[in-house]
Amino acid sequence: MLATISAWTVIYTYETVLPIVLSQSHGLSPSDWGRVYALGPALVILFQLRIARWIVGFSPTFCLAAGTILMGAAFLTLMIQATLGAVLVLTLAFIVGNMIWGPASEQAALRLAPEGHQGAYLGVMSSSIWLGSALVPGLGLPLREHFGDTGLWIAVLSIALLSAASYLLTNRMAHTPGSYRKVTPPFGKGVGR
């Protein structure tokens, strides 16, 4: 769950904190951000299926780790240059990372879930979306006030790296003999029978 919460924290940084930073620190107008933001869904519509075909030979764990790292590293472009072109590069890298990560995250939850508990695992994964969305404004904006934009972007990359490492560790533990413990359904076996 740490891996997924961390990944969603990176995603919500793009959704909530990035527009504030671009407006306050770099003078990007809300309408310019709106046009850049609209590029994301357009890229998904045009390229999600192609990217899914390109990554079909890679393990879901690799896709999870690579996708989160790419999403987090995308923010570093603003440390190099903060122009509209840099924001477009950030958006492109972030969206590609998200298209790599997204399908693999659902697949991983289903793969790790014990038989008959896939719905519960997907539910827990979905709750991590809300935790990630709560962490970003509550921690990201104060972090920015204290350490500046550069500190914020380094923190976002660090969270992405934590997510990637957590995905890799979870996969390793799941494939170690004897690492699975028997999972009991929350209300006992055979409820309602």
CA dist 193 and 189 (Å) reads 9
Give the chain's mean pLDDT: 87
CATH number of 2-174: 1.20.1250.20
Count of residues in the chain: 193
* Residue ranges per structural domain of the chain: 2-174
pLDDT, one tens digit per residue, over 141-165 is 999 999 999 999 999 999 999 999 9
Q: What is the pLDDT of residues 119-129, one digit of tens each?
A: 887 787 778 88
What pLDDT score was predicted for residue 177? Answer: 56
pLDDT at residue number 119: 82
Query: Taking the CA of residue 69 as centre, how many other CA atoms within 13 Å lie in the half-sphere pointing to its CB?
Result: 12
- Cα–Cα dist 19/1, whole Å: 27
Tokens of 94: 């972030």
pTM, two decimals, is: 0.85
